[in-house]
Structure 1
Amino acid sequence: MLTKQEMILEQQTRILQILHERKQDASQFETDEDVLPVRDQQGLQHLESQLQESDFRSKLINHLSLIGRSDVKDTVWCLMKHTISNTLAKETNWRGVNGKTSMASLQLKTAVIAAVRKNPLTLKASEREVKMFMKRWLHLAVFDF
Structure 2
Amino acid sequence: MLRIFYSLTALLFAISFSFASEKIVFIDIQKIVTSSKAGISAQAELEAQAKRFKEEIEKKQKAGESPSQIQAFAEEKQRELMEKRQKVAQKFMKTLQKAITEYSKSKGYKLVLDKNSLLYGKPELDVTDDFLKFFDEKYSTVK
Same fold (TM over 0.5): no
Larger Rg: 2
Structure with bigger helix share is 2
Could you say which structure has the greater relative contact order, defined with CA pairs below 8 angstroms and 6 or more residues apart? Answer: 2
TM-score (norm 2): 0.30
TM-score (norm 1): 0.30
